[in-house]
Structure 1
Amino acid sequence: METDRLLLATAADPKALYTWRAIREEASTIWSMAWKISVATFCRLSVFTISTAFLGQLGTKELAASALAQSIIGGLRIVTWAFATSMSTLCGQAYGAKNYELVGIWLQMGLVVLVVISIPLVVAHFYAYLILQYVTSDVELLEMAQTFANYTALSVFPNAVYVAFRSYLRAQEIVTPTAVIDTANVFLSIGANYVFIYGWGSWSGFGFIGSPLASFFSATAQPIALFLYAFVFGQYHKKTWFGWSWQCVEATRLKQFVSLTSTFLVYLALDEWIYNVIAIVTAQLGSLNLAANSVLCNIWGLAYGVYMGFSTPIQVRVSHALGANDPVKAKHVMAVGFGLGAIATLVVMFAILVTRYSLVTVFTQDAALQEILVAMLPIFCVAAGISGFHVMLSSVLEAMSLALTLVFVSGVGSWAALLPASYYLGIQLNFGLAGLWWGSVIGEGVKFCITSTALFWLYDWAKIAQRISDEANGDEEVEDIEKEAQEAFVTVDTLKSPVAAVTNVSF
């Protein structure tokens, strides 16, 4: 176990958590997880870039077909993301409550449900053409895209198993195994893509379908390697694994798991798909602006790896504190984690701004496109920076199991603010791509403000911690999580300043 220190009960002296020593210790713990998760996330994102690069060497048609297929099947990945979020939250809460057997049961339930849900996901891959046929009239391109989707379906099951293992380990602050394996997978993907596409020796390879086959090979190797590393040799599971139990299909817990996951799925869909819609709106501005927007989204994806590096430890450690019924410690983790994450976000945005002239040359040699990107990056950094702040705080809501709150935040911020603002500024007022991204600044700002308000002023952390601790210990029957959470709203006369809300100290 990388860190297994008991969360200290500090309600009697909350100010003690804000001494330099306490802040330094918490920051050190978060950082020890953050850099490894950032590396792992960056490596996973790099695998997609590697596949794209190899396909680009085959030809424009092959690259376009894979991109077309990914535009549909990529959206299905949010299903496994939702399960990962639920597992991290529930396993973390149980671990904080010292209900170690329940941690293992959540893993079992996650594996069972993910295996079942993988079946319709696989089937959906084989019918991608039903949507793709409305995107392009090129029959050959459509057939190639569907072929790519068919072979990509092979990776659904191993990816699901890997997500379950990774979430289970992260919830216990065990991140080294996944960091090592995700890093090694980059090199494995390079080799697999080369061999499966171009062959080896006298064998000429599979060509176009070699790319999804290489992805399947890498995806299968990941859960096997993680199982051997963390479970067989590392024995990291011994504390929380009590053997298979029928409790993994127990109705009450299953309802809690599926309900939370379903709501997280809606939240992730609202949060992720908004920029797909913005991309469609960008198409009205011409191919050059569409290409520029695509590059900006790729840069955002790289920055998101840093965000994940800090938001995940925040989620895990806040869930531990809440499971231990220690709301004071939970606020302390949020304050320190947000501070670190905010600094990291600002550093990344500053680095992008300083290196923007050389950065754009990595993505394109087109002078006109470079000019657009250089002009857009300052606005982009404002939007991406605010988004980073929001991601840090939203991880706290995830730890609280307040998925419906996240749905509200994303629904209002993304669809009621960002989309209309982007369309109005970019299309109606003819501000072009800059207008679209200023709309993103507005939308991300709204999400950050709502999330901050909910955490600092609206919710009673003590009641939330009590509810989560009771559920993790099985002291009460699990009901609708978000319905119970409504009892945690504070009244107007008990509102505190943001600083007091965080530190639990009245001024």
Structure 2
Amino acid sequence: MCRQPSCANGEDGALHLCQQPPVSQPELYFFSIEDGHHGSLDKQMMKQAFDDNEFNRWPTPIEIVEEMKAISRISGPMVLAGLLLYSRGMISMLFLGRLGEVELAGGSLAIGFANITGYSVISGLAMGMEPICGQAYGAKRWSLLGITLQRTILILLCASVPIACLWLNMERILLWCGQDQQITKMAGVYITFSLPDLLAQAFLHPLRIYLRTQNITVPLTCCATVVVLLHVPINLMLVVYLKMGIRGVAVAAVWSNLNLVLSLLGYLCLSGVYKKSWEGVSKECLKGWRSLLSLAIPSCVSVCLEWWWYEFMIILCGLLVNPKATLASMGILIQTTALVYIFPSSLSLGVSTRVGNELGGNRPAKARIAMIVALLCAGVLGLLAMTFTTIMRHRWGRMFTQDTDILQLTSLALPIVGLCELGNCPQTTGCGVLRGSARPSTGANINLGSFYFVGMPVAIIMSFVFNTGFTGLWLGLLAAQASCAALMLYVLLSTDWILQAQRAKDLTGAHQTEHESFKFQETCHKAAHDNHASVTTLNLQQLDDCTSDSLPLITVQIVKPEETKLCSENHF
């Protein structure tokens, strides 16, 4: 709680006069303003607070190192968590393979259908809370974190209802599309027993974002480690000992996600992290959906457009010569890109949090530095990925199969995959910057134009007109990633960071008091002049130990010979 000198109450305003003994040296006095006006922060006022040179220079080596440390503290644990959860998916596929070819095909088909119609939608909608929570944390608007968490969970639960209806009718849909009846039946069994996973995902994604935007990522890795260690015995119990078959694999996956949710909730309760931001279940969570949905829907579209591209590539593979070999090779390469994607994805999550925190804290110059450093790191990751895929092109496929046709296709495509990653790493990182600055619609437009208006035509023309076959599909992806990276870099490098800081204040509601504090500077000068004093120091500050609803303070140092001293009374 902030403490202020107590003075006699005035009639209406927050500025008061009181009598004090004479002072012989400059003192600090605190003024605050209480006014019902809620205007947007004027951009010109903000420009006065920042040196233009801050937005036209490269960061110093010290700034680069410090920012790399800040990003790595977030992204490092996320990489480990991503690798652990990736291994969990591989464990499930191994148990499906033990059951037989039909079970493996059915489970794979169900997982693909679930990714397209369910998981991509839930993951994308959840990302709508990322800029709000990241910027609220930077602005110290703690209560907004808790309310946004509640709203997002409710939105995901509502979205799960139509998804569940779609999953229940999956078998009928796939049969109508001409899929094999036996495989489709197995897929229907798997996805039916996966329905509770929608409930787990509706809590899991918001909890992870809620923690990460507060720079809490190590517990996520610890919880993921426990979940993966339990995943093998759970599968053994359900699939081997209880002989539940494909149903057991589906239930084990749901059980693991439920374990992850419970472990994260346990961490929240035991650590007390929630205390600042959680004010209990509130009716406020039923309001204010418009601003959240305006971010969630474009985020969802952006995620879905990218996820669905790979599914379209699988469909096109079935139209090529020797579809069995091309589909198998595509499966290997998609697993490879999923593994490599963990690294730029984690970097994207880290820079999203950093940019959101800095913009929320009204530090646009630091947000710009975070973007530059993250893009440099993304370039290094892209080069490493390209080197890895090129060197391993003749060896990587042998980890999955010994079929010569599949190995030949895989070795031809892997160097192109590496070139794709050279563009994908900056593009994915750029998406993180856009999320952190609450611009998901820009990312959605870039993905739509790049993947479907550039990449898709190139893939079709190269594969079926110029008869390059399987390689042509990956050349289409290369064209998509190149155009996507170029557009993303253009948008990021032309960003007005002062404007983004202003938008952050509008999004978190911080402008409601900040604007009045700037206006109050004139009041301070006038009050000092009327009392024959001079203002020698004028500084806007927000005390760290204040509550989220406390008023920002203007510190005024005045030198005055008279006995009358200006002071204020702050209301909480």
User: Which TM bucket (shorter chain)?
Assistant: 0.7 to 0.9
How far apart in 2 are the matches of 1:347 and 1:138?
Answer: 41
- What is the aligned partner in structure 2 of residue 238 from structure 1? 275
State the Cα distance separating 1:46 from its structure 2 match: 2.1
Residue type matched to 2:292 in 1?
F
Greater strand share, structure number: 2
Cα contact 2:393–2:415 (8 A) shared by 1: no
1:51 to 2:69 alignment:
no
Residue type matched to 1:74 in 2?
N
Moved more, 10-19 or 137-146: 10-19
- What is the aligned partner in structure 2 of residue 338 from structure 1? 375
Larger Rg: 2
Q: Which runs of 5+ in 1 are unaligned?
A: 1-8, 477-507
Cα contact 2:223–2:260 (8 A) shared by 1: yes
Q: Which runs of 5+ in 2 are unaligned?
A: 1-47, 513-572
- Residues 256/340 of structure 1: CA separation in 2 closer, same or farther (3 Å cut): same
State the Cα distance separating 1:430 from its structure 2 match: 0.6
SS of residue paired to 2:277: coil
- What is the aligned partner in structure 1 of residue 264 from structure 2? 226
1:399 to 2:436 alignment:
yes
1:82 to 2:140 alignment:
no
Residue among 175, 184, 192 paired with 1:133: 175
| Percent of residue pairs identical | 26
How far apart in 1 are the matches of 2:467 and 2:97?
Answer: 34
> Which structure 2 residues correspond to residues 484-495 of structure 1 after superposition, within 5 A?
none
How far apart in 2 are the matches of 1:91 and 1:446?
Answer: 30
1:95 to 2:106 alignment:
no
1:266 to 2:301 alignment:
yes
Cα contact 1:10–1:17 (8 A) shared by 2: no
Cα contact 1:73–1:128 (8 A) shared by 2: no
Residue type matched to 1:55 in 2?
L
- What is the aligned partner in structure 1 of residue 292 from structure 2? 257
1:463 to 2:505 alignment:
no
Moved more, 68-77 or 416-425: 68-77
- What is the aligned partner in structure 2 of residue 482 from structure 1? none
How far apart in 1 are the matches of 2:476 and 2:163?
Answer: 33
> Which structure 2 residues correspond to residues 26-37 of structure 1 after superposition, within 5 A?
26-37=67-78
Residue type matched to 1:223 in 2?
V
Residue type matched to 1:240 in 2?
S
Greater helix share, structure number: 1
Residue among 248, 252, 256 paired with 1:214: 252
Residue type matched to 2:464 in 1?
I
Moved more, 190-199 or 239-248: 239-248
Q: Deviations over 1:364-395 (max 9, x none)?
A: 12122112211221111001221111101121
- Residues 10/175 of structure 1: CA separation in 2 closer, same or farther (3 Å cut): farther
- What is the aligned partner in structure 1 of residue 488 from structure 2? 451
Q: Deviations over 1:271-313 (max 9, x none)?
A: 2212211221122222212211221111000011111111101
Residue type matched to 1:340 in 2?
C
How far apart in 2 are the matches of 1:432 and 1:332?
Answer: 43
TM-score normalised over the length of structure 2 = 0.77
State the Cα distance separating 1:16 from its structure 2 match: 9.0
How far apart in 1 are the matches of 2:472 and 2:159?
Answer: 40
- What is the aligned partner in structure 1 of residue 340 from structure 2? 303
Q: Deviations over 1:138-173 (max 9, x none)?
A: 333222211111101121101221111111001111
Q: Deviations over 1:324-355 (max 9, x none)?
A: 22221111000111112221232233223223
TM-score normalised over the length of structure 1 = 0.87
Cα contact 1:278–1:419 (8 A) shared by 2: no
SS of residue paired to 2:214: coil
> Which structure 2 residues correspond to residues 357-436 of structure 1 after superposition, within 5 A?
357-436=394-473
State the Cα distance separating 1:225 from its structure 2 match: 0.9
Alignment coverage as a number of residue pairs:
461
Residue type matched to 1:452 in 2?
L
- What is the aligned partner in structure 2 of residue 122 from structure 1? 164
State the Cα distance separating 1:465 from its structure 2 match: 1.6
SS of residue paired to 2:128: helix
Residue type matched to 1:431 in 2?
T
Residue type matched to 2:374 in 1?
G
Residue among 74, 81, 96 paired with 1:40: 81
How far apart in 2 are the matches of 1:141 and 1:147?
Answer: 10
Residue type matched to 1:294 in 2?
G
What do you get for the CA RMSD once the two structures are aligned?
2.0
1:111 to 2:140 alignment:
no
